[in-house]
Amino acid sequence: MSEMLLTAYNGAILGPIAKFLGWIMNGMYILMEKIGISNVGLSIILFTIVIYMLMFPLTYKQQKFSKLSQKMNPELQAVQKKYKDKKDPTSMQNMQTETQMIYEKYGVSPAGSCGQMLIQFPLLLALYRVFMNVPAYISSVKQVYMGLVDNIMATSGYQDTMTQLVTDLNLRTVAVDFTATDTTTLQNYIVDVLYKMNSSGWDALKSAFPGLTDSISSTYGVVSHVNQFLTLNISDTPLEIIKSGFANHSYLIAVLALLIPVISYLTQVLSIKLMPTASGSDNDQMAQQMKMMNRTMPLFSLVMCFTVPVGLGIYWIASAVVRSIQQFVLNKHFDKIDLDDIIAKNQEKAKKRREKMGISENQITNAARMNTRQVSAPSPKSSVKTTAEKELEAEKAAAKKANARPDSMAAKANLVRDFNERNNKKNEK
């Protein structure tokens, strides 16, 4: 396994995720090999189904949050309307408190819908690394190239020939150094180059190593079967395939490559249309942001699919189809259940959490009443003096007493006040 991962992506964050996903994909590929199917594209589809099955509990939680959002959104809008023109710190704090109380009422978290997105984003980036270098993660795919690799390394001057080949083919995504002395490292570098080559690249390889024509042809035949999906090389981008197709008059290949981003766009639109959306007014900022995101995400998928490997496009299509099926089933499920029961259960869970934290229901109620009084108070002034105000008045009186002349009326008044205060203290005792 350590040898297989030498050319894998080794980033501090995405590297371990890519290796884990690669481990799962390797298992999917081995499983399919046992039933007589050796194809990376089909392995990606099976891999996608497994990943979304593992993520289904999180998906269910997100959908439940969306359904509850539809029900509580009118209350949230009422709070926003209440504090619309109030920008003072007290009103802003009270708005946050009342909003939080609504979330507490329905037993959900304001970040309830973010979990899946936070998980999917690094998964997508890590999958990009896996699909860009499949042999580094799927041992059986790497083994396809090893016979040819040994023959290339047995050829005199192969390092210079391979270096020139990388330059001629403009393989910018390949980080190789054929001046290395370690045999295993050199083997992995050659595999990286071979994996990135399209059909014209394999023709160039035959020209560079004329003595290995038979070995190159037989290896390419196996690679075409393993690494191609609907005649498309999964490591190539649709844009590269389209350009090459038109240049070689292979218009069918170009059309098939074009279908990858188009189908990705259509499946993303279908997935979004099936998702529940919170009911809000046209003036609601959050609702507008969600509408904008729903419009831009499919377009983003359409544009990006032209410039990422076909394998990643297959994953996007497969994931959108799986999400659509899941969403259809969940919509049917939530249509049959009573949301009030879910709300009651969530409230009970929230109550238990508060009890563990030592927060009583009376504290929450009193906090709400205090916030209401603060908002409804017409003026910050109050007839009841605070401790700070009393201390300030005492300091002023002391200063006035100290500055009074011995023979003045103020001095005599101070003597009378002191006498009365001493008598009052005696009476209290």
Q: What is the pLDDT of residue 405?
A: 55
**Per residue in 71-91, pLDDT tens?**
777 888 888 888 888 888 888
Q: What is the pLDDT of residue 128?
A: 75
Give 372's pLDDT tier (boundaries 50, 70, 90). very low
pLDDT at 337 over 70: yes
Closest CA to 56 of 330, 338, 419: 330
- Residue 229: φ, ψ to 5°: -130, 115
Q: What is the pLDDT of residue 362?
A: 55
Give 424's pLDDT tier (boundaries 50, 70, 90). low
Q: Using DSSP, state whether 408 is helix, strand or coil.
A: coil
Q: What is the pLDDT of residue 72?
A: 79
**Per residue in 209-218, pLDDT tens?**
999 999 999 9
Q: What is the pLDDT of residue 1?
A: 33
The chain-wide mean pLDDT, for the chain, equals 77
Domain-wise residue ranges, the chain: 238-336, 400-429
Give 351's pLDDT tier (boundaries 50, 70, 90). confident
Q: Is the distance from CB of 65 to CB of 113 less than 8 angstroms?
A: yes
pLDDT average, residue stretch 108-115: 61
- C-alpha 404/C-alpha 408 separation (Å) is 7
- C-alpha 73/C-alpha 285 separation (Å) is 12
pLDDT above 70 covers a percentage of the chain that reads 73
**Per residue in 168-191, pLDDT tens?**
888 776 778 888 889 998 999 999
Look at 43-52, 117-126, 234-243, 418-427 and tell me which has the smallest mean pLDDT.
Answer: 418-427
Q: What is the pLDDT of residue 363?
A: 54
Enumerate residues 6+ apart whose C-beta is below 8 A from 319: 48, 51, 52
- Per-residue burial over 363-390, b if 16 or more Cβ lie within 10 Å, else e, is ebeeeeeebeeeeeeeeeeeeeeeeeee
The DSSP code for 234 is T
**Per residue in 133-180, pLDDT tens?**
888 888 888 999 999 999 999 999 999 999 999 888 887 767 788 888
Q: What is the pLDDT of residue 376?
A: 47
Q: What is the pLDDT of residue 6?
A: 43
Q: What is the pLDDT of residue 418?
A: 64
pTM comes to 0.64
